[in-house]
Amino acid sequence: MKLWTSPWVFCLVILLLCFGSECGTVQRKGRSKRELVRIREAKATIPGACATRLPRGKRSLPGLERRVLPHRRRSAQAVENSSDRGKSVYFTGRGDQLRLKPGVEIPRGNFTLEMWIKPEGGQRSPTVIAGLYDKCFYASSDRGWLLGIEAVSEHGNRDPRFFFSLKTDRAHKVTSIHSNARYVPNQWAHVAVTYDGVYMKLFVNGAQVGVSREQSGDVFSHLTKKCKVLMIGGNALNHNYRGAVERVGLWRQARGQRQIIRDMQGHEDPQDLPQLVIRETFEHPGRKWLTVKDGSFPQPEQGGGWRVGFQGLGGGIGNSEGLLDTMLEPPPCGQTICDNIEVIKNYNNLWNFRRPKKVRYRVINIWDDTRTRPTVTDHQISLQHQQLNDAFSPYNITWELSIYNVTNSSLRNRLILANCDISKVGDDVCDPECNHPLTGYDAGDCMSGHRNRCPESKQGNGVCDPECNCENFSYDLGDCCNPNITDVTKTCFNRSSPYKAYLDVKELKEILQLDGSTHLNVFFANSSDEDLAGVATWPWDKEALTHLGGIVLNPSFYGTFGHTDTMVHEIGHSLGLYHVFRGISEVESCNDACLETEPSMETGDLCADTNPTPKYKGCHDPDPGNETCGCRDFTHTPFNNYMSYADDSCTDSFTLNQVARMHCYLDLIYQTWQPASKPPPVPMPPQVVEQHHNSISLEWFHPISGHFYNREVGSVCDKCTEGRVLLQYATNSSSPRPCAPSGHWSPREAEGPPDVEQACEPSVRTWSPNAGIEQGVVGLSECPLQGCMLQLEFPYPLVPDSLTVWVTFFSPEETALPAIHNILLLTVSGNNISLGPSNVFCDTPLTLKLDTEEEVFGVQFFTMEQHLEIDATLLASKPDCQLCRHCQPLHYRLLRHPPFTHAPHGLMLKEPTRRYTDRDVVPHVAYTYQVQTVSGRSDSEPSPPLIHELGAPYCGDGRIQSSKGEECDDMNTVNGDGCSSRCKKEPFFNCVGFSGTVAAVVLHLHIDVFALIPMNG
């Protein structure tokens, strides 16, 4: 295969964000460099009926936490030659690079280098994986060739890709070619480079992804061969590689793509052996390799190499790791697996995926101390509950109500603000969303002439004088927030006072601390804009199942005739639905990739059964207007949809695509909201991965939730993944650096999973050293000698296997040092471990393999880079973590029609495997296979079906079956190599003829040719 080259934020932010951190007293204004980001975040809260944040792209890392940094499966054929598999060794990047012994003759003309690699995330750019150097010609350090990783962005901070560079001894300049996409950390990849005296080529996973003919002739002459040194794992300039390497091969010929693919699959042709210079399996690396001065040999990777095939070829059940690439990516405008087109089509088409679901929700009703003046009345609650079930029950979703009464006059008497960022109160700018009588009209900012109306004689005179009650006069020098002087529930506008007359919703949630993992919590708040009816938490937000999640409603729009659909609309957001006008009125420009020109499951609201429409409150198609990208007629628009902005007299329905999305998110995120939920289903049909004359080998996907164990509220089992590895994000944070009053860029923003939506751009959802520093303050703006520090702690101390850090923004021009100056592991014993500096890419998480037997409870990051932003940190345990041992694994039942002769009700797989070889098959019979997830209590709905006959073609057999809709077939079920796991061409690839009946997918370069190879050669 070959390739063609050619950021609702409804920010309920408050001073409590600094609670739990060591943020100091700060100036009111933050750095001017961040103002653009603040403005952009503020604009994300749109005027109108709903202030739910607008997602602007995927998360830092798509998918759920148990899918973080997966290990891609390699082909089973590669396992067959077990005697030559060898070991994988791990290069730390610190003094363990190797150089070939002088006795081995290095090819000076045509050559091919192949190897399996598993690179860590975060490398020095460029990083050298292998290279040929000239140790004699010091005037030029670029003679020879390199295989490595290099950031192709202008500033070298993003888009790291594999590269192959070459400069022959007689060439004037270096030629470099790069892969078509950035590499994926901790994922095995087969890379190969070839040179035939004219063409230099780069192959990744068998696909040719780069070619050039700018170089010609031999790489070096026989006169200089003693000057040439071949190294792997780095070079003499310490551009060293971090990651695993396995099965290195060097040939004195430019091998063809057919040969490279066969070698990648583990097939060795005896005719190629005379041209083989090195086949390094790392069983005895000292026989051919030398270490650098004071260096050491790389250590074998724990678990050994080739841990990705199947040893169960002789029996029915294979290893749990397989051939199938189980990553189900969302489209570019999506967020999660429930946005994946194939997944949501299955929820559309399979009625059993939309069986009745009962969901719990909780209304939080605040009363005064005398149990009077409730926020909402019993009549409102009853009416809204009835209308809620009337709206959702036709779609097999019903709601179970509980009421949480809070008796607290202090809370009841305060204004709860829905969409005002408290840090903006009294910031010398009139912020309309904060302009309310109980904020003192934005602490006086929205009152003209307030600066000159307070005589000095009235300031601090023991009376709250209204003309002095603003930020400019320190709120009458404190008189207006003194409960012994005045009714502070009406006069205290100072955002820093504990007696202030208002709270924002996040402060209310922090006070109440209501668990969001068992119910959808419903809070009430007011707004300066009475048209603002509600706010919801998206299912992919990290607060969704916490006390900070839930929905917020204006009590005027709750349980009142003509407004009951407001809650239906907001719950729709919580269940993953966008506004129907997302693709027209919520795009950033007319060039926005999510602009919807026709109904689509990839753009706009990601529903193909809602026609494009602008934001409109009428109960009919909108008239053409200039607010859209070009005047156009919008017809058959979904104005009667609950996710439109029409009123209750008009809205009456969801579409089938929307219903499918809601049921998907109830399975993916909200199982613990359901009192009697089944295990999560497998969302895709099983797939054939191998076939012989008497057997069919199947593999299948994880359950949609990605969980491997029975999920219990309050247990860690939902954080345990395959091999009983515990994955945990930081939950406690601190920093000696000051916090901004808004809480933007505070330490707490680095807690939980990654939630930055546009990597490599500033985001308020991260920790940054100087966010709370006023620009130009001497002594504070720069980091101290040891670096600005962030400390993160994890819920459970454990012996770690790896650390993953999302550094999503930094300024490479600010310092020549690595972005992270030092990482310190905090251990229970007190023997803290320094990991030293780390280079990072802003669009690729930093991954660090940890070699320690100490229990780690936290980590400290030090940086000299004042604008660095850390989004999240993940600590993974070693396998068989003690905390996961009590967790009961989910099992699978394989259903077949006609049924298995030895298991007529389905085959229960005792081991948590996702592969089975069916030998109970005969030709000319169509077998239907489905998979169920089995927990200790119940079984899931069956997966979508696979229908297959023994001997019939299948995706992955190496032959394109156009009648089945195949566009390519590269003999694997891996995505990202030009031909998808569904045998569809991936973007920028094309099919070209090769030979026989098979065509190849090629990346179109200015001179490229590429082909897929048939299995029969």
Q: Inform me whether the pLDDT recorded for 451 exceeds 80.
A: no
525 and 605, same domain (yes or no): no
Q: Where are the beta strands (DSSP E) in 144-227?
A: 144-151, 160-167, 175-178, 189-195, 200-204, 207-212
Across residues 136-152, what is the average pLDDT? Answer: 82
Fill in the DSSP letter of residue 67: G
Checking if the pLDDT of 419 tops 70, the result is yes
Question: What's the pLDDT at 835?
Answer: 95
pLDDT for 452? 59
| Residue 623, pLDDT score | 83
Q: What is the pLDDT of residues 640-662, one digit of tens each?
A: 999 999 999 999 999 999 999 99
Rounded mean pLDDT, 332-338: 92
* Cα 556 from Cα 537, distance rounded (Å): 20
Which residue, among 1012, 783, 1006, has the nearest Cα to 199 in the 3D structure?
1006
Q: Are residues 614 and 726 in the same domain?
A: no
- DSSP string of 388-451? HHHHHGGGTEEEEEEEEEEE-HHHHTSEEESS--GGGTTSSS--GGG--GGGHHHHTTTSTTGG
Please tell me the distance from the alpha carbon of residue 566 to that of residue 387, in angstroms, as a whole number.
Answer: 11
Res 234: pLDDT: 92
Q: What is the mean pLDDT of residues 881-908?
A: 94
Quick check: 195 pLDDT over 90? yes
In the listed set 824, 854, 881, which residue is the last one of a domain according to the structure?
A: 881
Residues 194, 102 share a domain: yes
Instruction: State the DSSP string of 484-530.
Output: TTS-HHHH---TT-TT-SEEEHHHHHHHH---SSSSEEEEE-B-SST
Q: Which residues are catalytic?
A: 570
Beta bridge partners of 58: none
When mean pLDDT is compared across 464-468, 564-568, 739-743, 969-973, the lowest value belongs to 739-743
> Do 674 and 693 lie in a common domain?
no
DSSP-based three-state secondary structure for 831: coil
Side-chain-side CA neighbours of 103 within 13 Å: the count stands at: 4
Q: Of 142, 604, 117, nearest to 331 (Cα)?
A: 604
pLDDT of residue 982: 83
Q: Could you tell me the pLDDT band of residue 620, with boundaries at 50, 70 and 90?
A: very high
457-461, 873-877, 917-921, 981-985: which range is least confident on average? Answer: 981-985
Q: pLDDT tens across 38-49, in order?
A: 544 444 443 335
C-beta of residue 1004 within 8 angstroms of C-beta of residue 988: yes
Say what the pLDDT of residue 712 is.
75
Residue 322: what pLDDT? 64
Render 936-950 in DSSP notation, one character per residue.
SS-BPPPPPPEEEET
Q: For residue 423, which of 26, 40, 23, 809 has the smallest C-alpha distance?
A: 26
pLDDT of residue 867 exceeding 70, the answer is: yes
Over residues 230-258, the mean pLDDT reads 92
Distance CA 798, CA 210 (A): 44
Which residue did the predictor score with more confidence, 697 or 738? 697
Sheet bearing 915-918, strands edge to edge: 687-692, 695-699, 915-918
Is the residue at 612 inside a domain?
Answer: yes
895: domain CATH number is: 2.60.40.10
Name which residue leads in pLDDT, 978 or 610. 610
pLDDT > 70 fraction of the chain, expressed in percent and rounded:
83
Residues 6+ apart with CB under 8 A from 213: 198, 199, 200, 1007
Among 30-44, 264-278, 852-866, the range scoring the smallest mean pLDDT is 30-44
The answer to which of 882-886, 898-902, 980-984, 1002-1006 has the lowest mean pLDDT is: 1002-1006
Provide φ and ψ at 870, rounded to 5°: -110, 125
Does residue 526 form part of some domain?
yes
- Inside any domain, residue 920: yes
> Which residues contact residue 105 at a Cβ distance below 8 angstroms, ignoring those fewer than 6 apart?
225, 277
Q: What is the pLDDT of residue 150?
A: 95
DSSP state of 364: E
Lowest mean pLDDT among 311-320, 476-485, 728-737, 750-759: 311-320
pLDDT value for 153: 86
pLDDT tens for residues 261-312?
888 888 888 888 889 999 999 999 999 999 988 889 999 987 544 433 322 3
Task: State pLDDT tens for residues 765-777.
Answer: 999 998 766 544 4
For 920, the domain range is 687-707+890-949
Band (85; pLDDT cuts 50, 70, 90):
low
What values do phi and psi take at 575, rounded to 5? -95, 20
Give the domain-ending residue among 448, 465, 500: 500
Q: Are residues 350 and 492 in the same domain?
A: no
Residue 199 sits in a domain of what CATH number? 2.60.120.200
The reply to whether 270 and 121 lie within a common domain is yes
Task: Please give the average per-residue pLDDT across 228-239, as a whole number.
Answer: 90
What average pLDDT is seen over the chain?
84
- What's residue 52's pLDDT? 56
Report the pLDDT value the prediction gives residue 140, as an integer from 0 to 100.
Answer: 57
Query: 236 vs 2, 847, 969, CA distance in Å?
Result: 33, 24, 42
Q: Look at residue 846 in the predicted model and tell me its pLDDT.
A: 97
In the predicted model, what is the mean pLDDT of residues 167-185? 92
Give mean pLDDT, residues 315-334: 67
- Kindly state whether residues 869 and 910 are assigned to the same domain: no
270 in a domain, yes or no? yes
Residue 719 or 424, more confident = 719
**Strand 357-367, strand 520-524: pairing:** parallel
Q: Is residue 925 within 8 Å of 949, Cβ to Cβ? A: yes
Cα–Cα distance measured from residue 993 to residue 648, given in angstroms and rounded to the nearest whole number: 59
Q: Based on the structure, what is the number of domains in the chain?
A: 6
Which of 844, 686, 663, 761 minimizes the C-alpha distance to 122? 844
Q: What is the pLDDT of residues 520-559, one digit of tens each?
A: 999 998 765 556 778 899 999 999 999 999 999 999 889 9
Range from 17-21, 475-479, 616-620 carrying the lowest mean pLDDT: 17-21
Same domain, 831 and 730: yes
> Tens of pLDDT along 961-992?
888 888 888 777 777 777 888 888 887 777 66
Rg (CA), the chain: 31
Name which of 238-242, 302-306, 667-671, 1003-1007 the model is least confident about. Answer: 1003-1007
Distance of CA 540 to the CA centre of its chain: 10
663 plus 693 within the same structural domain: no
Q: How confident is the model at residue 373 (pLDDT cuts 50, 70, 90)?
A: very high
pLDDT at site 989: 74
Residues 93 and 150 in one domain: yes
Domain boundary among 500, 528, 562: 500
For the cut 70, the answer to whether the pLDDT of residue 69 exceeds it is no
Are 487 and 354 in a shared domain? no
Which residues are 928's β-sheet partners?
897, 947
Nearest to 558 by CA among 739, 401, 774, 338: 401
Q: What are the strands, taking DSSP E only, across 199-353?
A: 200-204, 207-212, 228-232, 243-251, 276-280, 289-291, 299-300
Best CA proximity match to 261, nearest among 579, 618, 1: 1
Residue 18 lies in a domain: no
Average pLDDT of the residues in 504-513: 91
Tell me, what CATH number does 726's domain have?
2.60.120.260
**Does residue 729 lie in a domain region?**
yes
Give Cβ neighbours of residue 770 (< 8 Å, ≥ 6 apart): 31, 737, 781, 788, 866, 867
Cβ contact 836:764 at 8 Å: no
| Angle at CA of residue 209, ends 4 and 199, nearest 5° | 105
The span from the CA of 343 to the CA of 680, in Å, is 13
Q: Which residue has the tokens 């298991």?
A: 903
Q: How confident is the model at residue 633 (pLDDT cuts 50, 70, 90)?
A: confident
Is the model's pLDDT at 7 over the cut of 50? no
pLDDT for the residue numbered 60: 35
d(CA 2, CA 273): 27
Question: Exposed, middle or buried: residue 591 (CB in 10 Å: 0-12, 13-18, 19+)?
Answer: exposed
In a domain, 812, yes or no: yes
CB 997 within 8 A of CB 959: yes
Axis crossing angle, helix 656-668 with helix 341-349, rounded to the nearest 10: 110
Average pLDDT over residues 390-415: 95
Res. 583: pLDDT tops 80 = yes
Residue with tokens 């693919």: 261
Phi-psi region of 73 (alpha: psi -120 to 50; beta: other; left: phi over 0): beta
824 and 740 fall within a common domain: yes
Domain assignment present for residue 945? The answer is yes
